[in-house]
């Protein structure tokens, strides 16, 4: 399979995995099985971005806290519940302060135990405060009123006739617990104090209104605005409630998402004790505890915070928050006009699908464990990051489906990688670990298309080495010591070959056959191969004394190298095969290894290898050889480092002049030159003997070719 086809296959696999992961996640989300993840993540976003709005300072809270309860009992002799005269004082102070509105998150469903006079005094205070709103509570109590009570000034808000065609309807309530007539009749507005939590008992949304007896009952926060607003009716848009110039987005259940401002102290609060004391002092002409200007032009909400009164709710801001803070938050959102909205379902589906597909495709192309770890980390972080961006834009974008789809896509793709490609990787490792360096095995695993099973034509640099006089060495050692000697020698040579990126083809006794540029492409294969040969000789020179001490023999080896096109691949039967090469280029390398015997050299390379080396090495031309089995002669060279060549420059210069004389057929001149360096140079010594032979038996024609008669 080509690299392109392999990539396309991975792409399609990743796409299918991603789509399936996203589909499963969306199904779980639709069935509500991911609420355990989505809701805490939403609470985290709400806390992270909670901050006051421009309208926050327009709201004040009066808390009936534990301190006020203790003060009332200690100083005023008020048991719980408090007499209505206490609340009347609070209403009078807010009216005196010219508050924009006053809403009581208190259910006055029972007459005062101090008698009807107490209720009537409270009624007078309410009647004098036209912006007063009292709380009511939807209930399942069968005995509760199911219609608006007669005599109440506020009987709900008329619904626009077209509301019936809206796609979202407010929740409907069958019965409501109203205040007693003495309190409910003079109220400018009644508001629902119902704060319905989610299934985990945390309040994140409120219904801005409910339908009761065919008319609209606003929530307490909305009632605080409407009590001082001129409006005629309310209508429901496609996904919103429009009333009195206010537009509130709604979800499918007719509720709205609250944008929290922070802990409950974010709206400035005062104690009921301070307000009552201030009113009493103002009546007496004394200085109040609380400056009336504190409430001037502001919306005031009264609620309970004393733990014993049981009006505490869990919200994204904390486990125990006064219930009135929920209504204050809705009021704040109304005044600021920045309610949160649910992201469209298609946006959630599209984002989940995108994350699932991205996870599947990237996971399918992931080949390293550390990349898989990074990918899993990103797949876990990106959905939340998108949720944060959406929050800032005013939307609740569900991130739980993407949090499931993306990692699942990655994990599923990694499992497929292990199942489909892991088998291939294990095959490659097992097949090549004996004769290819780990570094190049990893490169082959990363791109298996470099390995074309069955053979391919490729240019290789081929390495043949053999130990001098190995037959006599083997005769003098027993099998165990001979094996130990060979193992030390072969290990040292093989390590160098692999370090240089070579592939060890096979061992034939003491011989090593290796090559470069397969199965992994090595652009500078000739340079690496020759460098490996020089390093092998240098390492052997260091190892030789140790081997001589241990085994009684110092090993010398000859190396022949050639570069050319061969067929390389897995050769053999279907049951047993070997990664090797076939071609004349390998035969020539083998012949050059043997030709070292003639010249007394340790390394001999062909002109085809020399052409690819550039200036990496100094090359001494040795001869024009016609090896056994090959008709065309080939120029051969002895490679050495430039440092070695510098130390032998005089010898190499003389040899070069002698070789040119030899090529020209001037055998006497050549012999004379070679004789001057023969004692220090084995190739020169070989040429002295060759020149003498040619002088004794002059050739009939001369081409400068040294023809070998043995392998």
Q: Which two tokens stand for residue 681?
A: 């140079």
3-state secondary structure of 106: coil
> From CA 43, how far away is CA 204, in angstroms rounded?
8
Instruction: Give me the half-sphere count of Cα atoms (radius 13 Å) on the Cβ side of residue 540.
Output: 25
Which regions in the chain score pLDDT beneath 70?
1-3, 6, 161-167, 264, 421-454, 572-577, 711
pLDDT of residue 23: 94
- Helix runs in 638-696, H state only: 642-647, 649-663, 667-677, 682-696
Instruction: Tell me if residue 645 falls in helix, strand or coil.
Output: helix
Domain with CATH 3.30.70.1230 in the chain: 451-616
Give dist(CA 661, CA 318) in Å, integer: 100
Q: HSE (CB half, 13 Å, CA atoms) of 346? A: 0
Cα 152 to Cα 419: distance, rounded to the nearest angstrom = 74
Q: What is the pLDDT of residues 501-544, one digit of tens each?
A: 999 988 998 999 999 998 888 999 999 999 999 999 999 999 99
What span, in angstroms and rounded, lies between the C-alpha atoms of 675 and 690? 12
Q: What are phi and psi of 532, to 5 degrees?
A: -60, -40
* pLDDT tens digit sequence for 190-203: 999 998 899 999 99
d(CA 229, CA 244): 7
pLDDT at 444: 56
Q: For position 660, what pLDDT does the model report?
A: 96
pLDDT at 639: 97
- CATH number for the domain whose boundaries are 451-616: 3.30.70.1230
Helix runs in 552-629, H state only: 584-599, 607-610
Helix (H), strand (E) at residue 248: strand 246-249
- Cα angle 482, 485, 491 (rounded to 5 degrees) comes to 135
Are 272 and 90 within 8 A, CB to CB? yes
What sections of 31-150 are H helices per DSSP? 35-49, 66-71, 84-96, 116-127
Those residues with Cβ within 8 angstroms of residue 369's Cβ, 6 or more apart along the chain or in another chain: none
Closest CA to 273 of 70, 499, 11, 501: 70
Residues 655, 671 contacting (CB under 8 angstroms) = no
> What is the pairing mode between strands 132-138 and 101-104?
parallel
Q: What is the pLDDT of residue 291?
A: 93
How many residues does this entry show for the chain?
Answer: 711
Q: Where are the alpha helices (DSSP H) in 467-573?
A: 470-476, 479-499, 525-551
Phi, psi at 108, each rounded to 5°: -95, 65
Q: Closest Cα to residue 110, out of 142, 84, 128, 132?
A: 84
**Bridge partner list, 478:** none
What pTM does this model have? 0.64
Find where tokens 């929050």 sit: 391
Alpha-carbon distance of 621 to 663, in angstroms, equals 12
Smallest Cα–Cα separation from 132: which of 176, 185, 59? 185
Dihedral (Cα; 308, 313, 318, 321), 10-degree rounding: -50
Question: 708 in helix, strand or coil?
Answer: coil
Give how far Cα 335 sits from Cα of 37, 242, 247, Å: 31, 14, 11
- C-alpha neighbours within 13 Å on the C-beta side of residue 661: 20
Interhelix angle for 345-364 vs 369-392, to 10°?
160
C-alpha distance across the termini of the chain, in Å: 41
H helices of 31-83, in order, are 35-49, 66-71
Distance CA 241, CA 218 (A): 11
Side-chain half-sphere exposure of 443, counting CA atoms within 13 A: 13
The alpha carbon of residue 215 and the mean position of all alpha carbons in its chain are separated, in whole angstroms, by 52
Cα distance between residue 98 and residue 89, in whole Å: 14
């Amino acid at each position: 399979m080509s690299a392109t086809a392999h990539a396309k296959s991975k792409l399609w696999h990743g796409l299918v995995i991603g789509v399936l992961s996203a589909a499963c996640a969306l199904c779980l989300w639709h069935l509500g099985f991911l609420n355990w993840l989505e809701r805490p993540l939403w609470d985290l976003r709400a806390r992270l971005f909670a901050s006051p709005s421009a309208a926050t300072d327009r709201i004040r809270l009066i808390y009936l806290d534990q301190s006020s309860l203790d003060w009332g009992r200690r100083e005023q002799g008020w048991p719980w519940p408090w007499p209505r005269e206490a609340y009347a004082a609070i209403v009078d102070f807010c009216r005196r302060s010219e508050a924009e509105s006053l809403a009581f998150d208190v259910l006055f469903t029972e007459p005062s135990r101090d008698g009807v006079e107490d209720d009537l005094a409270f009624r007078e205070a309410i009647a004098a405060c036209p912006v007063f709103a009292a709380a009511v509570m939807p209930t399942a109590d069968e005995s509760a009123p199911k219609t608006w009570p007669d005599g109440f000034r506020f009987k709900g808000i008329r619904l626009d006739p077209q509301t019936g065609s809206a796609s979202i309807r407010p929740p409907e309530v069958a019965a409501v617990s109203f205040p007693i007539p003495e309190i409910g009749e003079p109220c400018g507005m009644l508001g629902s104090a119902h704060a319905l939590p989610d299934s985990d008992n945390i309040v994140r949304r409120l219904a801005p209104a409910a339908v009761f007896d065919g008319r609209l009952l606003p929530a307490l926060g909305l009632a605080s605005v409407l009590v001082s607003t001129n409006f005629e009716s309310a209508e429901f848009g496609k996904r919103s409630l429009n009333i009195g110039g206010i537009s509130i987005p709604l979800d499918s259940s007719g509720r709205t998402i609250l944008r929290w401002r922070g802990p409950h102290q974010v709206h400035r609060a005062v104690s009921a004790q301070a307000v009552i004391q201030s009113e009493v002092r103002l009546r007496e002409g004394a200085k109040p505890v609380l400056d009336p200007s504190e409430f001037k032009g502001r919306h005031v909400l009264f609620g309970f915070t004393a733990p014993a009164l049981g009006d505490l709710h869990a919200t994204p801001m904390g486990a125990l928050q006064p219930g009135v803070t929920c209504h204050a938050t809705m009021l704040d959102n109304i005044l600021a006009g920045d309610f949160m909205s649910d992201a469209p379902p298609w946006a959630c589906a599209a984002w989940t699908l995108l994350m699932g597909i991205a996870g599947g495709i990237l996971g399918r192309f992931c080949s390293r464990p550390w990349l898989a770890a990074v990918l899993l980390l990103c797949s876990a972080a990106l959905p939340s990051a998108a949720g944060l961006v959406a929050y800032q834009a005013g939307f609740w974008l569900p991130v739980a489906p993407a949090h499931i789809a993306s990692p699942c896509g990655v994990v599923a793709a990694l499992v497929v990688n292990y199942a489909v490609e892991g088998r291939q990787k294990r095959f490659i490792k097992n097949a090549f670990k004996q004769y290819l360096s780990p570094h190049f095995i990893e490169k082959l695993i990363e791109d298996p298309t470099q390995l074309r099973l069955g053979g391919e034509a490729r240019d290789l640099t081929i390495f043949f080495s053999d130990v001098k006089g190995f037959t006599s060495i083997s005769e003098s050692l027993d099998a165990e010591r001979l094996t130990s000697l060979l193992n030390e020698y072969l290990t040292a040579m093989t390590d160098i070959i692999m370090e240089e990126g070579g592939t060890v083809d096979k061992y034939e006794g003491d011989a090593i056959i290796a090559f470069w540029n397969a199965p992994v492409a090595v652009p500078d294969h000739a340079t690496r191969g020759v460098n490996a040969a020089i390093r092998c000789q240098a390492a052997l020179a260091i190892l030789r004394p140790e081997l001589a001490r241990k085994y009684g023999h110092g090993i010398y080896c000859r190396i022949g190298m050639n570069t050319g096109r061969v067929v390389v691949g897995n050769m053999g039967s279907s049951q047993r095969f070997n990664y090797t090469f076939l071609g004349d280029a390998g035969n020539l390398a083998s012949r050059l290894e043997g030709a070292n015997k003639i010249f007394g050299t340790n390394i001999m390379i062909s002109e085809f290898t020399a052409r690819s080396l550039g200036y990496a090495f100094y090359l001494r031309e040795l001869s024009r050889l016609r090896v056994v089995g090959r008709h065309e002669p080939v120029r051969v060279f002895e490679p050495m480092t430039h440092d070695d060549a510098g130390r032998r420059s005089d010898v190499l210069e003389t040899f070069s002049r002698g070789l040119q004389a030899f090529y020209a057929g001037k055998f006497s001149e050549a012999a004379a030159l070679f004789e001057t360096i023969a004692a220090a140079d084995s190739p020169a010594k070989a040429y002295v003997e060759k020149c003498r032979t040619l002088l004794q038996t002059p050739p009939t024609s001369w081409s400068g070719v040294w023809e070998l008669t043995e392998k």
